[in-house]
Chains A and B, each alone.
Chain A
Amino acid sequence: MKCPGFERLLDYLDGRLAGEDAQVVAAHLEGGCKRCAENREWLERVRAIAASDDRSAPPLWVLQRARHLFDSQTVRAGALDRLGRLVAALIFDSLTPAAVYGVRLAQSGNRQLVYRADLYSVDLQIASAHPAAANLIGQVLRQGEAGFQSVARLSLELIRENQIVGSTYTNAVGQFAFNGIECGEYDLQVKAHGATIIIAPLPIVPS
């Protein structure tokens, strides 16, 4: 028996054929047509895959933030690698989405920033101390490490206009704090086992 053709087969499978038209296609399929059986199997498979696909797309600001990673990484990483330094990439800023896209809001009034450099991440909070100053508290973490061996007792320096204006060490769990910092733009350097992680520029603005 002659094949009904792809379109007619689809109509049959969709229940759009009635009466004798449907019977003809049904009989053809029952007759063992390999091509039509393959087409039916393919369509059912594709439909099942599509039906199972309930994956949602991220909000637009998430895509835009990921897109900006490319600029920051490709422009800066190469030159600084040669100096044995790691420029940390900003991967989260609690102010950015709220201010720019109106989507995400921080729970507290403190600004929260997360930077990543190689296996290290540096979590920062900037909290108002008084109108013209802020406290910077943070934690250095190393990926894949259950404890805090690699992030304890690391040396940190806060630099403004090429001058070291503050220095401290991380505690046993990688936490640190600089209190009463004058508002302005700083660089934060973390000396982590042979590499210096650079966070720059770091704007200190009271919230």
Chain B
Amino acid sequence: MSLSAGVAVGFMSKRASQGKRDPSPARNDRALLSACLQGDAAAWEALIARYQRLIYSIPIKLGLSPNDAADVFQSVCLKLLEHLSTLRNQDKISSWLITTTRRESWRLALHRRREHVTVAYESNNSADELSRLPDRQAPLDEQQERSEQQQILRQAVEQLPERCRRLITLLFYSGDQLGYDEIARQLEVPRASMGPTRARCLAKLKKLLEGKL
């Protein structure tokens, strides 16, 4: 049976979509997992917000549609919920999430392929079908390492004080090479304070990232 997922309307561009902020950036994964197990819904929300980009981007990069990526996202979140107790002693769950999201994405991609083949077609070679998916061409270790580094950096930026967070986001994540004049305007701070502020914020970021990158 085919359960077509429909179409997305108003899907946001990758840089324009800011997502929801991690409300507890200073709490590590272990603390959030424990809180979830005690029924803390805010901790669950924080976990989802923290890893939203990591989870959602994997099926998108594998070539799945935004709707399928949304279903993978939900499926991975459900698995995370089911595995809270087994994951609770881990300081960070990004590796588990990457592996789980890849598997869910491949599973759904195969399901979609099978929806389009004729009834007479019988495939007993899932591995062969998996090998044709785009992500299988690239070195997974390298992708995983890059994803984890991106996650670490994002989380560190989220832990910065508000002004620093906004400044570093504009400097590093805006997608455009913004000049100090534009950044100062957006942050509503004097242009002359940009240099020292940037240095202070980067110093804080460096401290937060000590031993992590």
By a beta-carbon cutoff of 8 Å, the part of chain A in contact with chain B is 6-7, 10-11, 16, 39, 42-43, 45-47, 49-60, 62-63, 65-67, 69-71, 73-74, 89, 91-92, 94, 102-108, 112, 114, 116, 118, 123, 125, 137-139, 143, 146, 175
The docked-state distance in angstroms from the alpha carbon of A143 to that of B57 is 22
Please name the residue on chain B nearest to A74 by beta carbon: B39
Interface of chain B: mostly helix, strand, loop or mixed: helix
The docked-state distance in angstroms from the alpha carbon of A42 to that of B153 is 12
The docked-state distance in angstroms from the alpha carbon of A7 to that of B126 is 55
By a beta-carbon cutoff of 8 Å, the part of chain B in contact with chain A is 1, 3-15, 17-20, 36, 39, 41, 44-45, 48-49, 52-57, 60, 66-67, 69-71, 73-75, 77-78, 81-82, 107, 124, 126, 146, 149-150, 153-154, 172-173, 195-196, 198-199, 202-203, 205-206, 209, 213
* Contact sample, A vs B, 11 pairs, CB 8 Å cutoff: A53-B53, A53-B154, A54-B15, A55-B57, A57-B18, A70-B81, A91-B71, A92-B74, A108-B4, A112-B5, A146-B126
Please name the residue on chain A nearest to B175 by beta carbon: A54
- The reply to whether B172 and A47 contact each other, CB–CB distance below 8 Å, is yes
- The reply to whether B153 and A56 contact each other, CB–CB distance below 8 Å, is no
Known contacts A104-B8, A104-B9, A50 near B172 by CB under 8 Å: yes
- The reply to whether B11 and A55 contact each other, CB–CB distance below 8 Å, is no
Please name the residue on chain B nearest to A146 by beta carbon: B126
